[in-house]
Chain A
Amino acid sequence: MKINSRAVQKSVEVLSNKKVGSYHHMVFSVGEMALSAKPGNFVAISVGGPNSAMVLRRAFAIYRASDRGNYGGTIELVVAAHGSGSKWLSERAIHERVDMVGPLGTAFGIPTDQVNALLVGGGYGSAPLFGLAEVLKQRGCRVDIVLGASTANKIYAPLEGKRSVNTMTLTTEDGSAGVTGRVTDVMPGLIQKNSVDIIYSCGPMAMLEAVDAIAQGAGIMHQCAVEESMACGIGVCMTCVIPLRDDAGLIRMQRTCIEGPVVDGSKVIWGNSRSIPQGTLGFNQ
């Protein structure tokens, strides 16, 4: 298997940087990198400038990639300034350049048939789902989306995103927008009403686990984009592993930057994905 076979390293220019709710929507001029980017892929960006004490690359899910437009190929990211690296990136002004490696990782699988898809996003984890929604819509699929967060301004739901879905349902735990509760509270109703054939999800691991329980219970295929912190994004540091069952049924600690971020939900050993489950190949805890 070829690894990182579409990835390139490039100094890319910031074309736009706008604050949207709690997040920054950033557009980068990336040239041909945009051509090979698929929904679910991510990029890894060097942060802090040449004399930075931050030695590790930061991974960001691609919100959208476009190979057309005035600036040629562009990649858009939704950046949550949680730590010092993402904060540095979110402070980049127009025309500044950053070092980007991408596209990286696995992509959401797109069905060949016209199916009914349910997309589920938590917080800024909704970002890669909009690009996916556009692709599914072009294929003639029905696309419904559920976006949840603790509070309204942590939901990333841009106006243009609504165009590519049939319905959008919001949930907040504090009731400041949409339905009070969690994404999993509204999923069963939507699954039944829209005869959902496939579920795609992206967000925190605990949410993905709860979404997978519903998907498996209903016998629906589930692809999720998982989150584990990465140091390199290209498969060499071995820090971003989670337990995944391989095709032969063997549990292996696998890199979410190479075998993920998009994985088949039924292959993840949920429970405590940060531990080494009994039976894992080479178990030595």
Chain B
Amino acid sequence: MSEFQAFDFRTKFGNRYFPAPIFTASGCAGSGKELSQFFDLNELGAVVTKSISVRPRSGRATPRMAETPSGMLNSIGLQGPGIDDFLAVDIPWLQSKGARVVVSISGETVEEYATLARKLRGVNSLYGIEVNISCPNVENRGLVFACDPVASRAVLEVVRRNIGGDYPIIAKLSPDVTDIVSIAREVVAAGADGLALINTVLGMVIDVDAIRPKLAGITGGLSGPAIRPIAVRAIYQVHSALPNTPILGMGGVASGKDALEMIFAGASGISVGTATFGNPTAVTKIKEELLALLKAKGFKTLKDAVGAAHV
């Protein structure tokens, strides 16, 4: 009987249900238009947008990218149109395609996060907000909020206050901290409904012919399968400490098996980033593979599999 029963693939962050647990990763899906040539955006749990700032940003000079073993370094510097242009151009288009949208926001000050949250209030097709407090490619690297529990807390508090209670807030954390669990506790206490784990890992490559750093930004964020064990560890640790806080897992997921590993570690959803660069249909491929694996292993719901590896 059970094999004819529909598998419950839904996942929940805050008060919102998403029909599938596979999301794009912030900064890895353009405006959505680029990928919509290859699949329907509403097949995904949600499109997570690039991190939007208050004003337009040119981003950093090039080279912005270096391929590394099973990964890549990037130093884009949050290039983007700014919130007003984004709301006028990108959001209506995503809405017209029926996409569920999680808007990622990034500010240089606590006040900027407040402004961004205020402007997002009441936006159609908005399913959630990812608060990026962990981009390694901002000018004042000392001010990566996610490395400081007090600053992290301050950002989440103003976002919660300004967005109201209607939208789930997902705080994106950096793995470049001594104790990710303590940061996670702070942002959850400040009002985050969920956690995005992990942002890229700060890294560097030197061009041995030029005898110079390979990236114009000198350092960059490492992503891809090379960082997956770091992500699995972070997800496992945080899920142990905060079992009721849903986690959006990410970091080098390239197959359904990789996604399943993070779900067993404690993720309720998966974002796919770098894999899309290598394969425009990676997100839908991973979604199908994950569903098939969960069914093959005898699970009836995604929820039953979340954190299954915990002993």
Which residues of A are interface residues toward B (Cβ below 8 A)? Answer: 2-5, 7, 9, 46, 53-57, 99, 101, 228-229, 231-232, 234-242, 252-253, 258, 273-276, 280-285
Contact = CB atoms under 8 A, between A and B. Distances in A.
Contacts of B30: 3, 234-236, 238
A57 B281 CA distance: 13
B70 A238 contact: no
Contacts of A4: 34, 37-38
B56 A55 contact: no
A129 B33 CA distance: 30
A99 B279 contact: yes
B277 interface: yes
Contacts of A55: 67, 70-72, 224-225, 254, 274-275, 277-278
Nearest to A232: B277
Nearest to A238: B76
A20 B63 CA distance: 30
B221 interface: no
A-B residue pairs, 6 tightest by C-beta:
A282-B56, A239-B65, A235-B34, A232-B277, A282-B57, A236-B30
Given A46-B279, A281-B58, A282-B55, A237 B37 contact: no
Contact of A236 (B35, B70, B82): B35
B149 to A, nearest CB: 27
A7 B37 contact: yes
A28 B297 CA distance: 40
B278 A56 contact: yes
Nearest to B29: A236
B62 interface: yes
B139 interface: yes
Given A57-B278, A236-B35, A253-B79, A231 B61 contact: no
Given A5-B37, A55-B72, A242-B62, 6 more contacts: A56-B277, A236-B28, A239-B64, A253-B79, A276-B60, A282-B56
Given A234-B280, A236-B28, A282-B82, A276 B61 contact: yes
Given A236-B29, A241-B64, A284 B69 contact: no
17 contacts: A3-B30, A3-B34, A5-B37, A55-B275, A56-B67, A56-B278, A57-B279, A232-B277, A232-B278, A235-B34, A236-B28, A237-B65, A238-B27, A238-B79, A239-B76, A274-B63, A281-B56
Contact of B62 (A54, A239, A281): A239
B77 A284 contact: yes
Interface string B32-62: 0111011000000000001000011111111
Interface string B220-237: 000011000000000000
Contacts of A239: 62-65, 74, 76
A54 B278 CA distance: 9
B267 to A, nearest CB: 21
B276 interface: yes
B57 A284 contact: yes
Given A55-B274, A231-B72, A282-B79, A274 B34 contact: no
